[in-house]
Chain A
């Protein structure tokens, strides 16, 4: 999942729908000030029922955990189920960048990826959504009418890379269902 301006509020709503035994891992990139010292991860830990981990390099990805990208690092997924961080140049003026996470997830996990683009004021995430869709994954945009800042989800919708447009509440319900299916 990726969010920018207004993204934290949407994440709060979505994560309230996911119970402690959620059967999938969740990775979240939220655009942060470079000097953020983990306050986003602490906020999520308070808001979510899932255990929250601010990702370290080579962290093993476990089901039912929420991994947040630390400020000033890109977060990438490796095929061996671990997280890599990088300090490469910002993408779309953002580090972490949503495109970087989504591109790497598409490469590593292909059709197993559900990419969710949330409220935000720039166009980060559009290329990543394109990669996820091309690799056979599923893409969701927060309904611009439901988003605090509509630019980012609208950019993805306009680019034609979105499978479903849903409110934050509906996204939470759908992810919970995906989790339930995964458990069968």
Chain B
């Protein structure tokens, strides 16, 4: 076996770190998109002062506190209300009319992070008069993020941008009706939470859960490698009813995946697909 050059040391170190974290604690980041993991690892190194990944590995193995800090870097939730307003407009105009044909429908919001987008979706359903017929499962693999999603309390400073996006998304009321501002916090209205169940689910290890009419999973798959993307998309395909909808991030392309032949596009730009009958 040949030896490796200096340039190959860093990827090897990252492999060892992710393997160590998995073996010791069971958290599996080995199938995450590598470039982002390496960027975050470097940020962690400069924040903690370790000179190299190798130097950090033995410490991580023995120090749960350090591990917790590291995994926080690996799973920084990034989301916002009505991100890509045009997508919510398409949901309102193209998806809701079909959801309406079911007496009751289920939505799985996979990777909901701190919940901004699940509340955005709830608002659209409410304004279209179908919220009471919905059951929404909002899942994430981070209990910390789920706790914040459940609370639904956000910085009041973010509400201005949220209001603009809500309007661009075709909002029918005044966005301020959906939250209560208090000091520097904005608490989402309790009525938006009635049909939402928050639960821990890890797309890397957990199974499908069934009979969904819409799976909403935006800007989550970009953090996975191709193998894990295909696993997650397999779960979604298994979960969806015939004719059910899949909504991905606007730069996540189903063309590059194993399930491309299982869907037809409802709106290609919004990355909204409908599951077809072929298998």
Contact = CB atoms under 8 A, between A and B. Distances in A.
Given A55-B251, A89-B76, A76 B35 contact: yes
Interface in B19-42: 33-36, 38-40, 42
A107 B252 contact: no
B276 interface: no
Contacts of A55: 251
Interface string B61-105: 000000000000000101100000000000000000000000000
B252 A77 contact: no
Interface string A66-93: 0000100100111100101111110000
B1 interface: no
B155 interface: no
Contacts of A56: 251-253, 256
Contact of A57 (B7, B10, B39, B253): B253
Interface stretch (B119-127, B132-140, B217-225): B217-225
B5 to A, nearest CB: 9
B7 A110 contact: yes
Contacts of B226: 58, 82
A103 B76 CA distance: 19
Given A59-B256, A78-B34, A100 B251 contact: no
A108 interface: yes
Interface in A28-63: 55-59
Which of A79, A87, A108, A136 has most B Cβ within 10 Å? A87
B11 interface: yes
A104 interface: yes
A135 interface: yes
A69 to B, nearest CB: 10
B29 to A, nearest CB: 14
B229 interface: yes
Nearest to A58: B256
Contacts of B256: 56-59
Interface centre among B39, B42, B223, B256 (most CB of A within 10 A): B39
Interface residues of A, number: 27
A92 B76 CA distance: 18
B158 to A, nearest CB: 14
Per DSSP, are chain B's interface residues mostly helix, strand or loop, or mixed?
helix
Given A56-B252, A84-B222, A77 B35 contact: yes
A21 B46 CA distance: 42
B76 A88 contact: yes
B260 to A, nearest CB: 12
Nearest to A55: B251
Interface in A78-128: 78-79, 82, 84-89, 100, 103-104, 107-108, 110-111
Nearest to B250: A70
Contacts of A103: 39, 42
Interface string B1-12: 000000100110
A156 to B, nearest CB: 20
Contacts of A108: 35
B38 A86 contact: no
Contact of B36 (A58, A84, A111): A84
Nearest to B85: A35
B251 A84 contact: no
21 contacts: A57-B222, A58-B253, A59-B253, A73-B222, A76-B35, A76-B39, A78-B35, A84-B34, A84-B36, A85-B222, A86-B222, A87-B78, A87-B219, A89-B76, A89-B78, A103-B39, A104-B35, A107-B35, A108-B35, A111-B7, A135-B7
Given A58-B253, A84-B222, A108-B35, 11 more contacts: A57-B221, A57-B249, A57-B256, A70-B251, A79-B34, A87-B79, A89-B76, A100-B39, A104-B38, A107-B10, A107-B38
